């Protein structure tokens, strides 16, 4: 089965699919080792790892695609939902983005309706007009036919244009053939339920990490509402930041390692040193 077909089969089963947010080979490898079948290549996590900064539309398609390649190589069996952001331009750019991820083996790709380039402020996400957003999703769905990659259509217009417009866009995305829907920044449970209902039985995606001016349901409530996919962009990234800070503090204190550091043997096993030695044995030249 192709990655998109495998994701479709997974989403046909009951329950919430938990997608850890990954950004490079190590994060993808660790998520796979922990038993997760899926992962979200998060733009905010890639921005943090590559730029050391916030997710404010500064990451390019080339940088995201390079990160996808790292993730895919480190965890080839993981079903990756790629963050296609705004498609990196107009409808034709959207087609190029969707086609590239599909050919490279992504299971799904996210396309959103925010304005780009964004205003020079970190506050809010102004969105493109509704019909322009329609054409982006129409272009994405058309491009997806080549590989079968699933299209996740996201609307960011709730904070700036209200819940009625956001729900209307979700209904429109369903009409255009989007496979998965995503309302960003719902204010309460009622808005979540409206968005899920507007998805008309198609899977609905949600960010379930704490933070931001939005409702963050726990897993139980998310399942009751009807959310099918939940991602957690800070669940791995924040502990990584804390771990690096702990290591630096240990060095500043004259220590060789933080209390959080893995024992050397566990560190090497996690990274696969033993597996490498086994794989290399047939190629060693005898002295």
pTM of the model: 0.95
Mean pLDDT of 128-156: 98
Which tokens go with 181? 């829907």
Instruction: Please provide the average confidence, as pLDDT, over all residues in the chain.
Output: 95
Which tokens go with 157? 């217009």
Mean pLDDT of 45-72: 96
Helix (H) or strand (E) holding 152: strand 150-155
**Residue 209's CATH number:** 3.20.20.60
**Domain span including residue 122:** 3-237
- Do 75 and 186 share a domain, yes or no? yes
- Do 130 and 171 share a domain, yes or no? yes
Q: Nearest Cα to 179, choosing from 98, 86, 105?
A: 98
Q: Does some domain include residue 26?
A: yes
Confidence band, pLDDT 50/70/90 cuts, at residue 211: confident
- Do 68 and 98 share a domain, yes or no? yes
SS (H, E, C) 159-188: HHHCHHHHHHHHHHHHHHCCCEEEECCCCC
DSSP letter at 122? S
- Do 29 and 151 share a domain, yes or no? yes
- Do 119 and 253 share a domain, yes or no? no
Confidence band, pLDDT 50/70/90 cuts, at residue 280: very high
- Do 87 and 47 share a domain, yes or no? yes
- Do 228 and 257 share a domain, yes or no? no
Rounded (10°) CA dihedral 133, 209, 21, 229: -60
How many domains in the chain? 2
d(CA 23, CA 43): 8
Confidence band, pLDDT 50/70/90 cuts, at residue 258: very high
- Do 178 and 276 share a domain, yes or no? no
Q: Does some domain include residue 252?
A: yes
Residue 120 has pLDDT above 70, yes or no: no
- Do 123 and 152 share a domain, yes or no? yes
- Do 116 and 208 share a domain, yes or no? yes
């Amino acid at each position: 089965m192709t990655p998109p077909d495998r994701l479709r089969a997974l989403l046909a089963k009951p329950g919430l699919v938990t997608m850890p947010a990954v950004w490079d080979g190590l994060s993808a490898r660790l998520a796979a080792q922990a038993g997760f079948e899926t992962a979200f290549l998060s733009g905010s996590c890639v921005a943090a790892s590559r730029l050391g900064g916030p997710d404010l539309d500064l990451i390019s398609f080339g940088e995201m695609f390079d990160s996808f390649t790292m993730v895919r190589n480190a965890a080839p069996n993981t079903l990756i939902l790629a963050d296609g952001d705004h498609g990196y331009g107009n409808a034709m750019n959207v087609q190029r983005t969707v086609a590239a991820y599909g050919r490279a083996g992504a299971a799904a790709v996210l396309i959103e309706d925010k304005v780009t380039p964004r205003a020079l402020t970190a506050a809010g996400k102004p969105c493109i007009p509704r019909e322009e957003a329609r054409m982006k999703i129409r272009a994405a769905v058309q491009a997806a036919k080549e590989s079968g990659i699933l299209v996740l259509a996201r609307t960011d217009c709730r904070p700036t244009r209200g819940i009625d417009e956001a729900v209307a866009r979700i209904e429109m995305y369903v009409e255009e053939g989007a496979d998965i829907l995503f309302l960003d920044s719902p204010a309460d449970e009622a808005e979540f339920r409206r968005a899920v209902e507007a998805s008309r039985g198609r899977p609905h995606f949600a960010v379930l990490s704490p933070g931001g001016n939005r409702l963050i349901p726990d897993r139980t409530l998310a399942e009751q509402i009807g959310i099918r996919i939940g991602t957690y962009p800070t669940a791995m990234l924040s502990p990584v930041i804390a771990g690096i800070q702990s290591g630096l503090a240990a060095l500043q204190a004259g220590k060789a390692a933080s209390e959080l550091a893995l024992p050397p043997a566990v560190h090497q096993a996690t990274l696969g040193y033993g597996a490498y030695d086994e794989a290399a044995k047939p190629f060693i030249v005898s002295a």
